[in-house]
Amino acid sequence: MSADIQRLLLDIERELTALGWWQETPPSAEALASTQPFCIDTLSLAQWLQFILLPRLRAMLTAGTPLPSRIAVYPVAVESFRRESGDPGALLEAIACLDEALSGQPVVREA
């Protein structure tokens, strides 16, 4: 399973880059320290994926610690990316697949 998760994380990274949403410079330490879900008050969802979710999941995989099983990033991503330019379809699909792989539950995709 860890190889599947690693591939999905790479897919998300690849799609963020393809959309031009990947950043070379990280946000400030203060922005990254937000206590709000998805750091909604300080980061865009793309930033949260890049600087919070991907590194944390990769660190957990490396350490061999259990991965979260209660996760639902897809619904938040659908809402968040409605306001962005570009076609986030492949990114949304990668996020849905990650949610499914971690939770073991099917994700209902938006039509």
pLDDT tens per residue across span 87-96:
999 999 999 9
The residues spanned by each domain of the chain are: 2-22+38-103
Cα-based distances in Å from 21 to 2, 59, 60, 62, 72: 25, 22, 24, 25, 21
State the pLDDT confidence band at 41, using cuts at 50, 70 and 90: very high
With a cut of 70, say whether residue 81 has pLDDT above it: yes
Phi, psi dihedral angles at 87 (to 5 degrees)? -105, 100
State the pLDDT confidence band at 45, using cuts at 50, 70 and 90: very high
Task: Determine the pLDDT at residue 1.
Answer: 67
Nearest-angstrom CA–CA distance, 77 and 12: 12
Length of the chain equals: 111
Nearest-angstrom CA–CA distance, 21 and 44: 10
Domain 2-22+38-103 in CATH 1.20.1440.40? The answer is yes
Mean pLDDT on 31-41:
95
Nearest-angstrom CA–CA distance, 104 and 26: 32
Task: Determine the pLDDT at residue 88.
Answer: 96
